[in-house]
Structure 1
Amino acid sequence: MIVGRSPRIRQSFQKAWSALIALFFWDLAVTIFYYISPFKAPALPLTIFGTALALVLGFRVNSAYSRWWEGRILWGAMVNVSRSYARAVLAYFPDTAEARAMGTALVKRHIAYVHALRCQLRREDPAPDVQRILGDGPHEELARNNPANGLLDGSDRRLMDAVKRGWIDTILQSRIEGMLVDMSNAQGGMERIKNTPLPAQYRAFPKYFTRLFCILLPVGLVETLGIATPVGSAVAGFMFLAVLQIGDDLVDPFGNDVHDLPLLAITTTIEGDLNQAIDLPAPPAVQPVDGVLW
């Protein structure tokens, strides 16, 4: 996620430069043809076309931003419930060596859980993070189709064992189980966003309409702008191409691009808070690299 104060015009240009260069040469060709040919194109209602296209692109950007913002809300809920879960596990277990060891193990499993979830959403292998936190021993959860959910299931089984040992009562178990349900609901919402793309018409038609408008733009402007048509038309076309690119950048908030959510920074924050709760050193906070927080 870009955390700088000013937008990255250079990055936007890099993503749209090929289309922009093609548009500039097309504008140049239309301008030359206008001056050397006796044929004059009819006036085009560019205002109507542009207004309709702006509405279509606006709907698309709003839909993409809604997905991005919902993903951030879900991760914010995960941060909050993680702190509450660690606090409940550590505060209400008996003050015995065995109970404290189980509480510490549950907190570590949760740290491994959020890192595994981050890796799953980014289509990365969660094994290195899980082994770093829980040790190099065999972890049956990694063999499951959904390792993060496996870690959550394992934590629930250990809580049930704590109930059987008499370390926590059923009321506290119910409260902690509610936190696990909140984690599962947040994970399900993230997976829904990740695995459900925008409908095909939201992805295809705005691209077609934008390209068609960019093709018609110099034809409608050449009579008014004259030799300045290539520059004026390219600038106007770049605005529409940039808005189109914004929708593409925000549609998958859990990717590994500069515009996506800083999942590594979020999960490292959770790890730091929970490590300090079990008297372990917090990892260094993730710092922006060239104005981008990962």
Structure 2
Amino acid sequence: MIIPTIPSFGRIFREVHRPLSALFIWDVAVTVTYFVLPFHAPSLPLTLFGSAVALFLGFRVNSVYQRWWEGRVLWGAMINASRNLARAAHAFIDPAAPNAVDLKRTLVLRQIAYVQALRCQLRRQDPAPEVLRFLSETEAQEGLSRANPANGLLDGSARRVAESQRAGWLDTIQQTQIERVFVDIANAQGGMERLKNTPLPYQYRFFPALFARLFCVLLPIGLVETLGWATPIGSTVAGLMFLAILQIGDDLVDPFAGDVHDVPLSAMCRTVEIDLLEAIGDPAPPKLEPVKGVLW
């Protein structure tokens, strides 16, 4: 996620410089042609076309930003649920129970491993190295052997809570309270997987891109009579606005893509790691800081 409030025009230019360069060459060609072989192009149809394209792009940007924001909200809910789980484990498990300290520590470390595994799954990365930072190979294997490792880790944590209830270390009400937290975690994961696995409808991706590029091609033809030799500059600047808006839609459509526009999953997983390790009295790493204005 890009942190600075002032956008980097250099970054924007790098993202659109290829179509922008092609547009500038086309604008120059149209301008030269106009002065060699004068022609007349009505401006009203181009104005109406531009208004329609702006509406298309507006709908698209709103749709993709809604997806990005929903991803951020779901991860906020995941952070809260992780804190709730650690607090419930500390408060509910009987301190006099055998291995009570180990059980609390196990649940906390499993939750940290869970969020790291989920982050890797959403970014299409191997979760094993992150999971093994917190769990032994034997304990991690029950989750890593599953098609959905994060869900496997969550099932294992719920199983340990159920075993604690059967052993008398938790009563049924306390188990139910913790299970509600597991349900919240599972619901948040399901929402994230829905966003990751359900692309934006084809029409929202294809038609705005097609019409925006077609408008940029027609734009110098409608402007050359008014701007003359300044047409390449005016048309390219106007085209930059449309191409930048189009690029925004491409950048935000997948909130878990792992690029600079991504929801900062690594930073949020580090937040969970810090809060939960401190809850059990372990040393915690520092929070992640932006790197060159980007928080990962």
* Normalised-by-shorter TM-score class: over 0.9
d(CA) in 1 for partners of 2:277 and 2:21? 52
Question: What amino acid maps onto 2:89 in structure 1?
Answer: V
Deviations 1:129-169 (A, max 9, x none): 11011134461210111000000000111011001100111
Question: Which SS does the other structure have where 1:159 is aligned?
Answer: helix
Deviations 1:197-249 (A, max 9, x none): 00000000011001100010000000000000000000000000000000000
Question: What amino acid maps onto 2:129 in structure 1?
Answer: P
Contact 1:93 1:167 in 2 (8 A): yes
Tell me by how many angstroms 1:38 deviates.
4.2
Q: Which residue number in structure 1 is paired with residue 198 of structure 2?
A: 196
d(CA) in 2 for partners of 1:42 and 1:239? 22
d(CA) in 2 for partners of 1:41 and 1:71? 46
Contact 1:94 1:100 in 2 (8 A): no
Question: What amino acid maps onto 2:34 in structure 1?
Answer: Y
Q: How does 1:140-289 map to 2 (within 5 A)?
A: 140-289=142-291
Q: Which residue number in structure 1 is paired with residue 107 of structure 2?
A: 106
1:133 aligns with 2:126: no
Q: Which residue number in structure 1 is paired with residue 91 of structure 2?
A: 91
Tell me by how many angstroms 1:95 deviates.
1.1
Tell me by how many angstroms 1:101 deviates.
0.9
Tell me by how many angstroms 1:43 deviates.
4.1
Q: Which residue number in structure 2 is paired with residue 19 of structure 1?
A: 19
d(CA) in 2 for partners of 1:188 and 1:43? 50
Deviations 1:43-102 (A, max 9, x none): 452221111111000000000000000000000011111111100001111113512211
d(CA) in 2 for partners of 1:11 and 1:219? 29
Q: Which residue number in structure 1 is paired with residue 3 of structure 2?
A: 3
Deviations 1:174-201 (A, max 9, x none): 1110000000000000000000000000
d(CA) in 1 for partners of 2:198 and 2:216? 30
Tell me by how many angstroms 1:8 deviates.
1.5
Contact 2:81 2:184 in 1 (8 A): yes
Q: Which moved more, 1:89-98 or 1:115-124?
A: 89-98
1:50 aligns with 2:50: yes
Tell me by how many angstroms 1:42 deviates.
4.3
- In the TM superposition, structure 1's runs of 4+ consecutive aligned residues that sit over 6 Å from their partners are none
Question: Which SS does the other structure have where 2:257 is aligned?
Answer: coil
Contact 2:142 2:156 in 1 (8 A): no
Q: Which moved more, 1:281-290 or 1:227-236?
A: 281-290
Q: Which moved more, 1:68-77 or 1:131-140?
A: 131-140
Question: What amino acid maps onto 1:22 in structure 2?
Answer: A
Question: What amino acid maps onto 2:248 in structure 1?
Answer: I
Contact 1:56 1:206 in 2 (8 A): yes
d(CA) in 1 for partners of 2:14 and 2:159? 50
Root mean square deviation, CA, Å:
1.1
Q: What 5-or-longer segments of structure 1 have no aligned partner? A: none
Contact 2:142 2:153 in 1 (8 A): no
Q: Which moved more, 1:95-104 or 1:176-185?
A: 95-104
Tell me by how many angstroms 1:125 deviates.
0.5
Q: Which moved more, 1:2-11 or 1:268-277?
A: 2-11
d(CA) in 1 for partners of 2:236 and 2:44? 17
1:119 aligns with 2:108: no
Question: What amino acid maps onto 1:203 in structure 2?
Answer: R
TM-score normalised by structure 2 residue count: 0.97
Give aligned pairs, total. Answer: 294
